[in-house]
């Protein structure tokens, strides 16, 4: 990371931040080309003409832990307290395509999210929640198609037509190879599954957002703001290319693409990052892919405040951090927002901490004036200059990815991963040396004993109880129907042009488990082995 110069500080991305900005900073700046109007190309000022003056962003709180019944109770509480959209966290076995009684799941069931093994769990997860009236986001990637189909099946049981369902599946497996690791299949069949999901939703769930192309997890792994948007947009280009190569018209699927970014405490650069990302994506979609529909050119995104910046020391200080991060997301024009709970660096969020995180958004939406005008920072010498600088740096990094053959080839070469690791190491060094201040950690520490914190704990008997439910499920279903459905899925996976979601849906209806479906696909497609493990 570049060191600061005498002229001023450096941003998180290593870009110079001047002490004073004036008209000369925008001397050659073309407002019509760089800004446009709100809701108009290149969407720098926001994707809708009225933004929050019409209605605030969607308040979407991320939650899920333990059993489906426990998570259902938390969702009901959030809805009662004013949440307008649900966001589901799944445990690691679910994310990796394993049933709760699989050897690979031992010790992880229900720990970082809810355990979902079958349609019965999904039914319990949304018991009493009208799926035709809520928007649901599911943070799931490699097995995203399975969870979406389970959601559809449960909604149909409630009498809700698939065409009425609204929400998002993350479905962004490329960033799993880069920063997170919850992949199942190799990149090429994973892209095939993504394209199949695009086609399926176009025919069956037209209001559903088919992918949330995510920079958040790369940022949590150490990516700078420039790296975050460059790598995310490069992944987005790869998904669009895969869908177009599969024969889809860009304007048939691109309006349902969405993105997912982090919001850090460095407010000005974060606002610039969001503005630059919208502008880059609009130009890529128009110029490379020939998208004609303005909705195909708009970068709509969800934001989550930066969990990696939360500290276990003096956790109440995280309330201030989350507030600043949330404000950065709102000023940057997010479409939906999750605010982290102040105790997340210690354990699963307590009910009171989750409620306070929700209230933080409600204060911003209803007690401040940030919703009174569409684009508060338009024309700001500092923000517009930073936006141009972030855009230029991100485009340079995207060119380096293209030189390596595109995002998939760069992933296989380990390029993005190594770049993020270098940035993360530099930040760790700065904190260790005291050059980067972290309140309560390397400066402004509390002397003496802090008050003890009692974390929310997962029932240690959960894993055995989930295994018993699976045993009863397998004993009570039509085993021959399950085998036949899984055979049909294998055949579809081995074909070149059959959409695997249709036989997958029938297998899940027959009460095949998530692990059984993923194992059937592993048999055909194989499992991914990371480059550094070979």
Domain boundaries, the chain: 31-433, 462-533
Contact 305/299 with Cβ under 8 angstroms? Answer: no
Q: Give CA angle at 26 (20, 28), nearest 5°.
A: 150
What is the DSSP track for 320-374? HHHHHHHHHHHHTT-SEEEPPPTTTTTSBPPHHHHHHHHHHHHHHHHHSSTTSSS
What region, left, alpha or beta, does residue 18 occupy, with left being phi > 0 and alpha being psi -120 to 50 degrees? beta
According to the model, what pLDDT value does residue 108 have? Answer: 95
Q: For the residues 270-282, what does the mean pLDDT come to?
A: 98
pLDDT score at 244: 96
Count other C-beta atoms under 10 Å from residue 480's C-beta: 9
Confidence of residue 529 (pLDDT cuts 50, 70, 90): confident
For residue 198, which of 146, 152, 253, 155 has the smallest C-alpha distance? Answer: 253
Task: Identify the bridge partners of residue 74 per DSSP, sorted by sequence position.
Answer: none
Reduced to 3 states, what is the DSSP secondary structure of residue 39?
coil
Q: How confident is the model at residue 455 (pLDDT cuts 50, 70, 90)?
A: low
In this predicted structure, which of 26-30, 339-343, 353-357, 447-451 has the lowest mean pLDDT? Answer: 447-451
Helices and strands counted in the chain (H then E): 21, 11
Contact between residue 261 and residue 305 where contact means Cβ atoms under 8 Å apart: no
Q: Which pLDDT belongs to residue 534?
A: 37
pLDDT of residue 348: 76
Query: Which one, of 298, 362, 356, 297, lies nearest residue 330 by Cα?
Result: 362
Per-position DSSP letters for 87-143, written without gaps between them: EEEB-HHHHTT--TTSGGGTTTTTSSSB---SHHHHHHHTTT--TTTSEEEEE--TT
Over residues 410-422, the pLDDT tens digits come to 999 999 999 999 9
The pLDDT of residue 271: 98
Of 58, 7, 295, 54, residue with least CA distance to 166: 58
Residue range 137-149, pLDDT digits in tens:
999 999 999 999 9
**Residue range 445-464: mean pLDDT, rounded:** 75
**What backbone torsions phi and psi does residue 497 show, to the nearest 5 degrees?**
-130, 0
d(CA 129, CA 461): 26
Q: Return the CATH superfamily for domain 31-433.
A: Methylmalonyl-CoA mutase (3.20.20.240)
- Token pair 């009174």: residue: 372
Look up residue 312 and give its DSSP letter: S
Contacts of residue 493, defined as CB under 8 A and 6 or more positions apart, other chains included, come to 189, 500, 520, 521, 524, 525
Tokens describing residue 114? 């809810």
Q: Give the pLDDT band (50/70/90) at residue 10.
A: very high
Per-residue model confidence (pLDDT) at position 349: 85
Model confidence at 48, pLDDT cuts 50, 70, 90, reads: very high
pLDDT higher than 60, residue 53? yes
> How is residue 245 written in tokens?
């190569």
Q: Which residue has the tokens 């992944």?
A: 235
**What is the average per-residue pLDDT within 185-196?**
95
Above pLDDT 70, what percent of the chain? 96
State the angle between helix axes of 267-287 and 318-331 in degrees (0 to 180), rounded to the nearest 10. 40
Residues 490, 97: contact at Cβ < 8 Å?
no
**Measured between alpha carbons, how far is 219 from 277 in angstroms, rounded to an integer?**
15
Q: What is the pLDDT of residue 451?
A: 65
Average pLDDT estimate for 402-429: 96
pLDDT at 253 over 90: yes
- The pLDDT of residue 452 is 67
For residue 409, pLDDT beyond 90: yes
More confident residue, 65 or 178: 178
Q: What is the pLDDT of residue 454?
A: 65
pLDDT value of residue 2: 44
CA 395 to CA 377: how far, in whole Å?
Answer: 23
**Would you put residue 440 in left (φ > 0), alpha (ψ -120 to 50) or beta?**
left
CA–CA gap between residue 23 and residue 453 (Å, rounded)? 51
**Cis amide leading into 42 (omega within 30):** yes
* DSSP, res 443: B
pLDDT at res. 259? 97
Q: Is 237 helix (H, G, I), strand (E, B) or coil?
A: helix
Q: Which of 196, 59, 158, 172 is nearest to 407 (CA)?
A: 172
Average pLDDT of span 374-396: 97
Tokens 């502008």, located at residue = 279
* 8 A C-beta contact, residue 222 and residue 427: yes
pLDDT of residue 64: 87
Contact 117, 470 (CB under 8 A): yes
Residue 533 has pLDDT above 60, yes or no: no
Tokens 């105790």 label which residue? 343
CB 270 within 8 A of CB 263: yes
The backbone torsions φ and ψ at residue 269, rounded to the nearest 5 degrees and listed phi first, read -70, -35
- Under the banding of pLDDT at 50, 70 and 90, the label for residue 56 is very high
Q: Is 315 left (phi over 0), alpha (psi -120 to 50) or beta?
A: alpha
Q: How far apart are the C-alpha atoms of 35 and 387, rounded to whole Å?
A: 11
Of 277, 504, 524, 295, nearest to 390 by C-alpha is 277
The DSSP element (H or E) to which 493 belongs, if any, is helix 479-494
Structure confidence at residue 449 (pLDDT): 60
pLDDT bucket at 3, cuts 50 / 70 / 90:
very low
């Amino acid at each position: 990371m570049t060191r600061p110069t005498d002229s001023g500080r450096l941003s998180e991305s290593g870009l110079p931040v001047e002490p004073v900005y004036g008209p000369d900073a925008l001397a050659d700046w073309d407002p019509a080309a760089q800004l446009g109007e709100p809701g108009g190309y290149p969407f720098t000022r926001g994707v809708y003409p009225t933004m929050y003056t019409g209605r605030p962003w969607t308040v979407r709180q991320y939650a899920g832990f333990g059993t489906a019944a426990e998570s259902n109770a938390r969702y009901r509480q959030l809805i009662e307290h004013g949440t307008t959209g649900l966001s589901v966290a799944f445990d690691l076995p679910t994310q990796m395509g394993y049933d709760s009684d699989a050897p690979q799941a031992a010790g992880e069931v229900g720990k970082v999210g809810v355990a979902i093994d079958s349609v019965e769990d999904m039914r319990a997860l949304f018991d009493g929640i009208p799926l035709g009236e809520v928007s649901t986001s599911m943070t799931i990637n490699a097995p995203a198609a399975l969870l979406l189909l389970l959601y559809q099946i449960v909604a149909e049981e409630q009498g809700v037509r698939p065409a009425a369902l609204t929400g998002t599946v993350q479905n962004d497996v490329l960033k799993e190879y880069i920063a997170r690791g919850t992949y199942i299949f190799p990149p090429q069949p994973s892209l095939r599954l993504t394209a199949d999901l695009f086609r399926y939703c176009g025919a069956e769930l037209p209001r559903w957002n088919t992918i949330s192309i995510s920079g958040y997890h790369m940022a949590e792994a150490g990516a700078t703001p420039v790296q975050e948007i460059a790598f995310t947009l490069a992944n987005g280009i790869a998904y669009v290319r895969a869908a177009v190569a599969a024969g889809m018209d860009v304007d048939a699927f691109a309006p349902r693409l969405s993105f997912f970014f982090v919001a850090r405490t460095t407010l000005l650069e974060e606002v610039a990052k969001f503005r630059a990302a919208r502008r880059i994506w609009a130009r890529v979609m128009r110029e490379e892919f020939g998208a004609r529909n303005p909705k195909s050119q708009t970068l709509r995104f969800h934001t989550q405040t930066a969990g990696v910046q939360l500290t276990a020391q003096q956790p109440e200080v995280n309330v201030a951090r989350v507030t600043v991060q949330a404000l950065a997301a709102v000023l940057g024009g997010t479409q939906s927002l999750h605010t982290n709970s102040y105790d997340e660096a210690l354990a699963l969020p307590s009910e009171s901490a989750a409620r306070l995180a929700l209230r933080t958004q409600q204060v911003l939406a209803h007690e401040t004036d940030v919703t009174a005008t569409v684009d508060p920072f338009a024309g700001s010498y500092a923000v517009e200059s930073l936006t141009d600088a972030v855009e230029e740096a991100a485009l340079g990094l995207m060119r380096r990815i293209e030189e390596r053959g595109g995002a998939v080839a760069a992933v296989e070469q380990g390029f993005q991963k190594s770049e993020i690791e270098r940035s993360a190491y530099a930040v760790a060094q700065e904190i260790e040396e005291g050059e980067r201040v972290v309140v309560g950690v390397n400066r402004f520490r509390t002397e003496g004993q802090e008050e003890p914190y009692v974390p929310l704990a997962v029932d240690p008997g959960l894993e055995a109880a989930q295994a018993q439910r699976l045993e009863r499920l397998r004993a009570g279903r039509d085993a021959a129907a399950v085998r036949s459905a899984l055979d049909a899925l294998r055949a579809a996976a081995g074909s070149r042009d059959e959409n695997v979601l249709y036989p997958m849906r029938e297998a899940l209806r027959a009460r095949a488990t998530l692990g059984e479906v993923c194992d059937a696909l592993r048999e055909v497609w194989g499992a991914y082995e990371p480059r550094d493990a070979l």
